[in-house]
Structure 1
Amino acid sequence: MAYENDAGSSTPQGRRNDVVAAEKERFGGIKWGSAFFGWLTAIGMTVLLSALATAIGVGVGAANPSETQQAAEQARQNVETLGIVSGIVLAVVLFLAYYCGGYVAGRMARFDGVKQGLAVWLWGIIIAIIVAILAAVAGSQFNILGNLNGAPQIPVDGSLMTASGIVGLAIALIVPLLGAIVGGAAGMRFHRKVDQAGVHHQTGLVG
């Protein structure tokens, strides 16, 4: 589209940038309400995608029982390989789930998509800390994130002291952060396209 290369305040893109800058100055910044709904989306997607991954694994096992028995035997002989595969699946699930959460927050807030994605991740950290405190004080039955297979989680049973525990915590912290930031930026870009379409409509230009 020819207008994508327009520049300057006298051009449609320049006018769009001026309008967006004025709107962002007034309505920009982290929107914690939008981020909270983004976090809820991320947790819901984590549960759904985890269930889907489990169902696929069970289905493959039912369709190939002999291969499953061989795979189980190999897994017993090589636990490290099984851990790597599980870690990859977990990383993919968390990235996609928090991408969706960041996207929801970015679309709701309209501006500062990266910040909205970061806020989605921070909501996860804040709630994980609260849940960890409840679990430590009142018992493991209050570890609702563990029951939902949500992330991130703060282990309170000493499992963090193992190598696998450290790797798992790193995945649970870094991957959701990256997914939420990328999703937040993608959600915000949708509104910039809408703004550009509005400016061109006002000026009578067609992209």
Structure 2
Amino acid sequence: MVYENSAGSSTPKARRNDVVRAEKDRFGGIKWGSAFFGWLTAVGMTVLLSALATAIGVGVGAANTSGADQAADQARQNVETLGIVSGIILAVILFLAYYCGGYVAGRMARFDGAKQGLAVWLWGIIIAIIVAVLAAVAGSQFNILDNLNGAPQIPVDGSLTTTSGIIGLVIALIVPLLGAIVGGNAGMRFHRKVDQAGIDHQDGLVG
């Protein structure tokens, strides 16, 4: 069976793009189910990476103890630096976690990787809003994202009015979004390699 390309493309990559375009027209768009599983992956990775970072921090602190008084003095002198470092670590954790979540969604959905990553992030916003409402109505014990260090979160205790609260919210919103979009595109690219292998195989049969 000879493959005919309606667009007149002559290279394997061009023919693959035509096939992908036709498939995307039919099966593209946001897949909310895939994005939900991507969000679950992101939350799980956030927990694991946070636990790992905490363990490393505890280990480093235990190795560097040189007396309680000296440690206390160093802590007081380096509060601002520790805050900056903590923010950077949090940003790295959220980026990696949501990269993994976006990758899962992109792999599952096959098309529109950036949109799948956006949907992963939107699931995080939706869940955060629901949890914030529950916490405001029924009590802080329902703020499960606070216990999990999952992101993004919607503050309900007035901390958003502080500079650190605003910076924290920006980190919790923007960094996961970027990570999820990059991960979604990475997951989608795997399928383009599979599509290209199919076209190359077909060319071999035709030849």
TM over 0.5: yes
The answer for the alignment partner of 2:168 in structure 1 is: 168
| Separation of aligned partners in 1, 2:187 and 2:68 | 41
Q: Which moved more, 1:75-84 or 1:39-48?
A: 75-84
| Separation of aligned partners in 2, 1:166 and 1:80 | 16
How many Å apart are 1:69 and its aligned residue?
Answer: 6.9
The answer for the alignment partner of 1:29 in structure 2 is: 29
The answer for the alignment partner of 1:90 in structure 2 is: 90
> Relative to 1, partners in 2 of residues 1:63 and 1:79: Cα closer, same or farther, differing over 3 Å?
closer
The answer for the alignment partner of 2:127 in structure 1 is: 127
TM-score, structure 2 as length reference: 0.92
- Do 2:28 and 2:112's aligned partners in 1 also have CA atoms closer than 8 Å? yes
1:2-60 CA distances to partner (integer Å, 9 max, x unpaired)? xxxxx961221121111100100000000000000000000000000000000001111
Number of residues of Structure 1 aligned to a counterpart in Structure 2: 199
- Do 1:117 and 1:183's aligned partners in 2 also have CA atoms closer than 8 Å? yes
The answer for the alignment partner of 2:41 in structure 1 is: 41
> Relative to 1, partners in 2 of residues 1:188 and 1:79: Cα closer, same or farther, differing over 3 Å?
same
Task: Classify the secondary structure of the residue corresponding to 2:66.
Answer: helix
TM-score, structure 1 as length reference: 0.92
Structure 1: runs of 5 or more not aligned: 1-6
Correspondences of 1:1-207 after superposition (within 5 Å): 9-66=9-66, 70=70, 72-204=72-204
After TM superposition, the runs of 4+ consecutive aligned structure 1 residues lying more than 4 A away are: 67-72
- Do 2:106 and 2:112's aligned partners in 1 also have CA atoms closer than 8 Å? yes
RMSD: 1.8
| Separation of aligned partners in 2, 1:119 and 1:159 | 27
1:116-149 CA distances to partner (integer Å, 9 max, x unpaired)? 0000000000000000000000000000100111
| Separation of aligned partners in 2, 1:72 and 1:10 | 71
Letter aligned with residue 158 of structure 2: G
